[in-house]
Structure formats: C-alpha cells, structure tokens
Structure 1
Amino acid sequence: MVTFAPRKSHFDIGNEASYTNQFRGFFTLFWISLFLFIVSTYIRSVEQAGSPLNLEFATMMSRDAMTLALSDAVLVLSTGICVLFAKAISTGWIKYYWQGILLQHLWQATMLAVAVTWTFNRQWPWVQSGFLTLHSFVMMMKVHSYLSVNGELASVDKRARALLGQLKRAAEDEGGWDAALQAAESAMIQQESPVEIGTPDVPLDIPAGSTTSYVDVRTVATLRQRLLAHSGKDIGPPTPSEILSNHPSEKIASLAKAHTELEYELTGSIEGKVRWPQNISFYDFAWYQLTPTLVYELEYPRTQSIRPLYVFEKSVAFFGTFALLYTMVETFILPLTPTPEQSFARSLLDLAMPFMISYLLLFYIIFECICNAFAELSYFADRQFYDDWWNSTSWDEFSRKWNKPVHTFLLRHVYASSISSYKLSRQGAMFFTFCFSALAHELVMAVVTKKIRFYLFILQIAQIPLIAIGRIPAIRRNKLMGNIVFWIGLYAGFPLLCVAYVAY
C-alpha cells in the first residue's frame, strides 16, 4: 500500500515537470506580491510606531527556549530505547504478539503523556506547547512504525525458518537436498523458453557448427529470477528456494515458493542488500530518525551525494519564508485575536486572509524547506512530501495529498492494520482512521488553547458525510464547483476554529 521511489517535490526548482508548467509564473507572482506587501507593512509600521515590528511575538517564542531545547533533545534521545526493544524481539526474548505490542503501546502512550504533562507544568505559551506536542506525535509515529515493522518481520522470519525446515525434510524424502536441486534445475530447463542469443549477461557455449545454444542451468535460473524481481531489484543469483520452486513435486514446489515469498519480505525492496535483522542497530535507527518519513522500511531509495548548494538554498528559503510568516502573525493575527465581545462575523472576515497566507507559508516551510533539507542530508530520494492538494475537489482528496508522510503512516499503521488485525470493513477502517486523526488533532488544540471543546474533532468527523455527498456522480463530475467549495471551506475553517477556541 505504501511504496517509495525517487521523486521530487512540486515546488522544487529542480523538478522538470513543475519548471515547465504553464502556471509557474503565478508562483513567482505570489512571492513578489507577498514581498511587496510585507515591505509596505514595514514602512507603514515605521511611520506609525518608529519600528518595523514590536517583537512581542519574538519575546513569546523565546520564552524558556533552553528548557524547550533540552526537553526536545531528551524526547528524541529517549526513542533510542526502541532499538534495544527490537533487539529483544529479534532474539526471541520478547514475543511481539502480543506481549511486545502491549509494551509498545504502553511506552508510546507514556511518552506522549509525559510530553503533554510537561508542557502544562512549564506553563509554556501556545508556540512552545504546540511544538513539543506535535514533535512528540512525530516521534511516537516513528517509534510505532519502527517497532511494528520489526515485530512483524520477526514473525515472518519465524515462519520462514519453519518452512525451510519443512522444505528440507520434504527434499530428504525425494532423495536428498542436492538431488532435489538437480531435479528442479532440470525442470527449469524444460520450462524455459529459448533464450535470446547475444545477451551480454548470458555466457553461451555453442559448439562449432551447431545451430542450438546451450545455456548453463544456473544462468537460466538467474534470468528467470531477474524477470520476477520486484521493481528492478538486483537479487543476485537464485537461492535454493527459488530453484526448488520449479521442482516436479508439488509439495516441494509449494513449500519453496512460500519460503521465497517470505524471504522477499525479509529483504530490502530497493537494492536487496539488507536482510532482517541486520537492520536493527543504533546507526540504522539514527538514520531513520534523520529521514523525513514516518513509515519505516529496510531500505529507501537513496541519492548518491549531498549537494551543499541545495541545502543552502532550502536554508535561505526557510529563513526568508519564516520572516514573512512571523510578520504576518505579529501584524495581522495577534492584534486581531478575537474576544467574546467582538462580532463573530467581523472576526471571521478579519482573520480569513491572514490565516490563509500563514497556512500557505507554514506549509511551504515544513514540506518544501525542512523536509527537503533533511531528505538531502539523509540521502533520501523520495521527496514527494505533498501532492497537488490545491486542486482538491473534496476533503478526502485534500487529506490524502497535503501531508503525505502522515497520510502514509495512517494508511499503513491505522487503516490497513485495523482491517488486518480487527477485521474491520473498509468503511469501518476509514471511520476508525478519521476518529484517530481527529482525536490527535483535538489533543493538540487542547494543549495549545488549554481548553477542551472538541470543535475541531466535530468538524473533522463532519467531513465523513461531506465525503459521501461529494462522491455522488452529479457532484463528482463538476470539479470546478468541488474545488471552489474546498477553498471556501479552507478559508472559513481556520478563522472559525480560532474564534471558537479563543473566544468561546
């Protein structure tokens, strides 16, 4: 359900498809217009107050900064415990099903509870509280994916070893292991279609005057496995199980095929160089922590080198965009913080545009600047951290596209897991995933605002009937209307939540 491939983000200047897009000029126009708007704001502020900014927001952000940095460092370093936990699972000291799963979830819940409690004890402003809570969620998801994948692979390895034992016993009944391999190789010769002469990778032994090519049995097996290899994966010469999958005995062939499939699961899907449990190490986990993904894999598509100029470009883009975001928040959002006495409609109108611009800037900072910079530093080649969410015609499409790392995590570890583990239907799994996501968002809002209101939870759950309505063929065909409704909802959503949580 989740695959990784070398891809570039939409707004990366190295993306050939985006660079040739007919609407690329509007991207440039957006930044120039925003820059001119901010400059005019600075000039107006200097004329009225004597300074471009009053730095009230900066004072709030820098409050208890050292404690926040140390707390975040402790949070990140504490996740290294899961390497020891995975080691214990791989050696059989802890059975993942179900003792390991219970310990894993207790630890994740404790980690999140400690972080949330700490933010309340420190009485931090909403910026610090929100940052640590969100980062705690990120760490919790990374830990969950790491342990879930390694726990599942431990189970797969156990089944693979049991199947290999059955396969060896079945081979002994057929005259021994070597005899079974020879019989399978002979069967492969008979099943293979003629091999094209002249292939560089195929050494041919053609006697003088002969019109028939003779190909080594193991060469034929290698060619066969190359055709079966997944997404260009170089698996090298065929394993005994791959050869025995062609054995005339149906019992041996079926056991060999089943063992081969399990071995594929235990091997990295990109280059095939990592086989579980070789991946369980502090070095591998640290690399995974640096990689901007929430789904753990034995292997990821990698780049060849780090480009210093690319990292510099993303760093400059980060600081420049953050300066714009800071100005927008301090000048157009904080002074207009709603109160119960203010007009509800007026507050919505005043905050709609500043919140939308701030959202776009924050999106660009996180998914284009930060994620791409960390991807470059970790040699991570899959840069599709978002898709064209601005073209969304429904809320389910938006939820799939705007935050791909979280979406892939929910898809694999919540949606798919609820179907396989709890036997839920697709509709039931979707509802469960929506509730899980909505509760997580509501927890963040409770920490930030110090209030429990469930406004955001209700709005997110309300998307489910809206999604069903949007799938009506008459509505689904009108993509322009769907996109207009989507943008109106996004425009209204941010100020609506702000007014609801702050004023009420």
Structure 2
Amino acid sequence: MAVLANGEDNGAMDSTVAFNGFHYGRNSGSEAARPGISSIESSTTTSEEEFGTDLSLSRQKTVAAQSCRGDYQPSTPPSSFSQPTPSTPPLTPKSTTPVVKSEQNKRKHHHLHHHKQFTTPIFTPSLTTFDRHNPLATSSPFFGFYTLFWMSVFLFVVKIGADNWREYGNVLGTHEILSTMFAPGKEVVVLGLADGVMCGLTGVGLVIQRGLVLRGGVNWDGSGWVVQHVWQTGFMAGVVGFTLWRGWPWTHTVFFVMHGVVMVMKMHSFGFYNGYLSGLWKRREGLKGRVERLEKGVITEGVASSVEKADNTATTTTLRRHGEGEETDMLKEVNMLKSEIEALTEELKGKATDPSRAYPNNLTVWNHYEYIVFPTVVYELEYPRSNKINVYYALEKLVACFGIIFVMIMISQAFIYPVVMQTVEMKAQNMPLAKRFKQFPWMLLDLIFPFMMEYLLVWYLIWETILNFLAEITYFADRSFYDAWWNCVSWDQFARDWNRPVHNFLLRHVYHSSISAFKVNRHTATLITFGLSACVHELVMWCIFKKLRGYLLVLQMCQLPLVRLSRTRWLKNRATLGNMIFWLGIFTGPSVLCSLYLIL
C-alpha cells in the first residue's frame, strides 16, 4: 500500500506511486477531484514520522499465524502469510489508440481513464500479543511479568474484598457503583433493547447503497455522499439525545455513546467504499455497452470527448469502413476497452476470492450485518476467516470480560468513588473555587494509581477480551487489534499502536481522504485527524459530565507538539527517555482530567 512521502509535494506526481482515497467534497469536474480517483505524492518506504503512515501491519503476524493454536485453522495457507499483498495487482497504464471516424474528419483522440486502485489495510490471520495461545506470548522474556501482574491484581482485589467484609459485612463495601449500574433495573433492559435497535438502524446505509446509489436514484459523486453524511449526523444526534432523554447514569451513557460512535464509523466505511465501487461498476457497464456497439460496427457520436461519462443516450451513426486501417483501429480500441473492463472487474472483486462476493453482489442484508458484528471498523468485501469456533476459547474470553469488569468496580468503589463524593460535598457546601483548588494536588495523588489501573484494565477489557470474543464467534481471523504500545517512545507511535482498528479507520477515511479531497499537506491532514479524534472524545466527556470544558480536547491536541519534541536532537534516538515521558503522560493524564472536571 502506498504511504506518504516525508518530503513536500514537488510536482512529480506522474512519476510517483498513486494513492486513492475517499472524497469528502463535491466533484469539481477535474480528474483529480473525483472521489477515489485522486493522486498524491507518496513513497514506497514507510515513514514513522507522521500519523498513520504505517499500514503494513507486520506486527509479527507471520510467526503468529504460522504457529496458531491447534484448533485455529485459517483458510489461507501459512505459506502465503509471509508476503501479505492485496488480491488485485496495481493497474498499469494502457496505450490509447485514436478512433478514425472518417477520412474527411479530423482525427480525434480519446484516452481511457487510467484507473488507480483504492488502497486499504491488509488483513491477515494473526493472534493478539497477550493471547495465551500465541506462542510469541509464552516465549517472550517478559512472560513472567505478565503472570505476576495478574497475580498481583488478584491479591489486590482479595485485599479490597477482605477489608470491605470486615467493615461493611460484604465484599463490595457500600456498592454505590454497582447500585448505579443496576438499581434502575428496567433501564438495563432498555439499554440492551436500545443498543439492538441502534445496530439494526445501521441497515439504512445498505438501503442508501442498494436502493439509491446502485439503482441510479442518486449519484454517489454528486448527492450520494451528502445523503450518507446527513444520515450519519442524524444517527449520532439520536444516540446522544436518547441518553439525555432517558437520564442514564454515566455507566450506561458511556457504553451507548461509544458503541454509537463505532456504528457511525462502520456505516461510514461501508457507505464510502461501496459508493466508490458504484462508480467503477457504472463505468464498467458503460464500457461494456460501448464494446457491444463497436463490435456491431456502431459508434456513439461525440465519444471522443465523453468516454469518461459512458453516455449511452447519444445518437448513433453507422461506422463507415474505408479500409483495413480503420477496422484495425477499431479492433485495437475494442481490445483496449476489454482490458479496462477486465481491470475494473478485478477491482470490483476487491479482496474477495469468490466472484459472488464482488460488488454489487455484496450488497445483501447478511453481508452488511455480518460486517456490523465483526471486530473491525474498516469495510472490506472479504476478510481472512478461521475454519471453526473454539467454544472453550470464546467462553474463556467471555468469563475474563466479566471478571475484569468486577475488578474495575472493586477498584472504583474503593479508591475513586470516595474522592468523587468529596468533591460533590465541597460543591454542596459552596466552597470557593480557590479553596477547592487547594485540594487539587491531593486529589491527583489519590487518583493517579487507581486511574492507572482502570486505564490498563479498560484497554485489556476491550482489545483483548471483547474483540477476541467477537472475532472467535464470527470466524474473524485477523486479531491484530493492537501493537506493543507500552514500548512507545512518542505519541504518534501510541496513536498507531494502541488501537489498530480505529487507527486504520482514521488513516483510510480521515487522514488520506483529507489529502485527496481537500488537497492539504500531510501536516494539515495530521491536524485534522487528531482534531476529529479529540472532538469525539470530548463529546463522550460531555455526555458523562454534562459539561463542555474542552480539557480532553486540549490534552489530546498537546500530543502534536510533543510529537515534534520527540524528533528533536535532545530526544531522538533516546528510547528510554521517550518511553518515560510517554508513561508519565499515561500516568497523569486520566487523573488530571478527572480532577479538573470534578474541581471546576
């Protein structure tokens, strides 16, 4: 896959590798402005100096995939894992031949559109780093520390439970957090039903693609993408509004809003990729019609200037042959058109190994909702799949999921809830802001360690247990949900490694699309990507605290100057110092953020 060059655009676009992304703006009429048909300067070497330039997904997948647990049998032979490549090779420019309409007419030349492929992440069978079935996990020199960590967590929870039993007569203590989650019992049921309805409503994206775009009701390059964005905006507004209407506690709100954000990303990827393919499909159908007319000795008038539109409604005239030369030219054009049709057909197949999954055959209810439950937010026509479900493995991940939630409740109840109630009491007593700020350092110290634990447990809960459970029950073979983010030496590396599914989405649909649609440079695209991510996180904080303060947004955007700082001569090539700075931010960030929302 093409990646961005470190240098600025020097104008040599024809001699560089081309990138194609989705277009967010209107079609300006130029070749480069068409959605998915744009080019940017790029390099064949991966840059580590900008957000999202690493999309090779190496991540030790080869060894992991070849050494999977015995019952895990990916459909792709292990020999193909070492060099993962897209299923369709890049297209090469094809020579064009002028069509001679008459000896008396001027020769009119037309050039077929040199179509470039839509770039995408490479999905290959793999296992997560901490999966006990991954041989790389047990052979790691740090395997013992992983075991020690979970033993320490277990003993820590036992200690908390014993203290609660001694003081309150039960292991959960005063259990206010658990009561908040389940006291309004009917709201838990409402949450589950609402979440199911929300997932079901993603089918509107399928209706847009199949009922409007494919059948010609709307043109994706014109109003199709507008309809998609209007629907996504209304969907997200409905999700947030529903939580406000029900008056849910923060536990219900966080789950529902975050799941809603995931559904919006899924709909966006589904809509924009299929919208892109719809343009290719319509072009191919137009070319097929032209080939049929040429083979019958009929040619469309004005085709020299409108071959891109493949307009079949123009008047037709009989082609008068004035010698073998004109027949040869027509034959060359037919062969050239057939070559492009074949190339378009290959791209419409994407990574699908079966033509029945190629566009538009993929626009089915089953295909759409199967994608909705897959642990990925980047849509593809086909993913690597495992051969069977290991029920014991799925149960292991499910039990681990509920076990981690229990541990998080215990830690929050014992160490975070008392601090929160302390701030509530200060506000109830109308304590002046200056006096409350005097408690800020103490609150920070009280929260820093429990928040660190909660941060690690939340990450493990989502990316190791929930996503692996979903992957197992859906036969989804690519388990590369994260990289070794704990070894990060800069914040751009952290942005790439700690959440691979969302990183791939931002890279494909925000970073690259910003460059292709708005013609911005890579630095501006990075700013847009980080800014959008920060705004989404700030939306979640507003839903929790019902306050629009911008603290999280500011903290996230501060990562950009820190990235620049990590590339200076004082920090570059100093991995230990960079990793210390990274962990200092992880340690202090959540506690500082929570303390600011509680104090102010």
Q: TM-score range by the shorter chain?
A: 0.7 to 0.9
431 and 49 in structure 1: CA distance in 2 versus 1, 3 angstrom threshold: same
1:267 equivalent to 2:349? Answer yes
Q: Report the AA paired with residue 21 of structure 1.
A: S
1:78 equivalent to 2:161? Answer no
Partner of 2:576, secondary structure, is: helix
Paired with 1:420 and 1:263, the residues of 2 have a C-alpha distance of 24
Q: Report the AA paired with residue 428 of structure 1.
A: T
Instruction: Report the equivalent of 2:454.
Output: 358
Which of 208, 215, 220 is matched with 1:96 structurally? 220
Contact 1:18 1:24 (C-alpha < 8 Å) held by counterparts? yes
Q: Report the AA paired with residue 96 of structure 1.
A: W
Instruction: Report the equivalent of 1:430.
Output: 526
Instruction: Report the equivalent of 1:417.
Output: 513
Higher relative contact order (CA 8 A, sep 6+): 2
Question: How far off is 1:494 after superposition?
Answer: 0.4
Q: Report the AA paired with residue 371 of structure 1.
A: L
Which of 533, 541, 544 is matched with 1:448 structurally? 544
Question: How far off is 1:138 after superposition?
Answer: 0.8
Instruction: Report the equivalent of 1:142.
Output: 266
Contact 2:137 2:143 (C-alpha < 8 Å) held by counterparts? yes
Contact 2:480 2:500 (C-alpha < 8 Å) held by counterparts? yes
475 and 168 in structure 1: CA distance in 2 versus 1, 3 angstrom threshold: farther
Residue identity over aligned pairs, in percent, reads 39
Q: Report the AA paired with residue 60 of structure 1.
A: T
Deviates more, 1:320-329 or 1:448-457: 320-329
Which segments of 5 or more consecutive residues in structure 2 lack a partner in the other structure? 1-119, 298-328, 424-432
Question: How far off is 1:472 after superposition?
Answer: 2.4
Deviates more, 1:346-355 or 1:472-481: 472-481
Which segments of 5 or more consecutive residues in structure 1 lack a partner in the other structure? 174-246
Paired with 1:98 and 1:396, the residues of 2 have a C-alpha distance of 35
1:500 equivalent to 2:596? Answer yes
Question: How far off is 1:159 after superposition?
Answer: 2.0
Paired with 2:568 and 2:584, the residues of 1 have a C-alpha distance of 20
Paired with 1:20 and 1:250, the residues of 2 have a C-alpha distance of 60
Partner of 1:476, secondary structure, is: coil
Question: How far off is 1:254 after superposition?
Answer: 5.0
Instruction: Report the equivalent of 2:283.
Output: 159
Q: Report the AA paired with residue 305 of structure 1.
A: K
Paired with 1:248 and 1:355, the residues of 2 have a C-alpha distance of 72
Paired with 2:330 and 2:489, the residues of 1 have a C-alpha distance of 55
Question: How far off is 1:162 after superposition?
Answer: 3.0
Contact 1:7 1:383 (C-alpha < 8 Å) held by counterparts? yes
Cα deviation, 1:49-73, whole Å, max 9, x if unaligned, reads 2221122111101232122222212
Q: Report the AA paired with residue 489 of structure 2.
A: T
Question: How far off is 1:170 after superposition?
Answer: 6.4
User: How does 1:184-203 map onto structure 2 within 5 Å?
Assistant: none
Instruction: Report the equivalent of 2:177.
Output: 57
Cα deviation, 1:372-396, whole Å, max 9, x if unaligned, reads 1111111110001111110111111
Instruction: Report the equivalent of 1:36.
Output: 155
Paired with 1:424 and 1:258, the residues of 2 have a C-alpha distance of 31
Structure with a larger share of its residues in helix: 1
Contact 2:294 2:330 (C-alpha < 8 Å) held by counterparts? no
Contact 1:270 1:301 (C-alpha < 8 Å) held by counterparts? no
Paired with 1:471 and 1:172, the residues of 2 have a C-alpha distance of 64
Contact 1:329 1:354 (C-alpha < 8 Å) held by counterparts? yes
User: How does 1:198-217 map onto structure 2 within 5 Å?
Assistant: none
Question: How far off is 1:123 after superposition?
Answer: 1.7
435 and 272 in structure 1: CA distance in 2 versus 1, 3 angstrom threshold: same
Q: Report the AA paired with residue 571 of structure 2.
A: I
Instruction: Report the equivalent of 1:392.
Output: 488
465 and 167 in structure 1: CA distance in 2 versus 1, 3 angstrom threshold: farther
Instruction: Report the equivalent of 2:414.
Output: 331
Question: How far off is 1:172 after superposition?
Answer: 7.0
Q: Report the AA paired with residue 59 of structure 1.
A: S
TM-score by length of structure 2 reads 0.69
250 and 150 in structure 1: CA distance in 2 versus 1, 3 angstrom threshold: same
Question: How far off is 1:275 after superposition?
Answer: 1.2
Paired with 2:516 and 2:338, the residues of 1 have a C-alpha distance of 25
TM-score by length of structure 1 reads 0.82
Instruction: Report the equivalent of 2:192.
Output: 69
Instruction: Report the equivalent of 1:227.
Output: none
Instruction: Report the equivalent of 2:123.
Output: 4
Contact 2:440 2:599 (C-alpha < 8 Å) held by counterparts? no
Paired with 2:560 and 2:340, the residues of 1 have a C-alpha distance of 40
Instruction: Report the equivalent of 2:140.
Output: 21
Contact 2:375 2:467 (C-alpha < 8 Å) held by counterparts? yes
Paired with 1:17 and 1:269, the residues of 2 have a C-alpha distance of 28
Which of 253, 273, 277 is matched with 1:129 structurally? 253
Contact 2:352 2:358 (C-alpha < 8 Å) held by counterparts? no
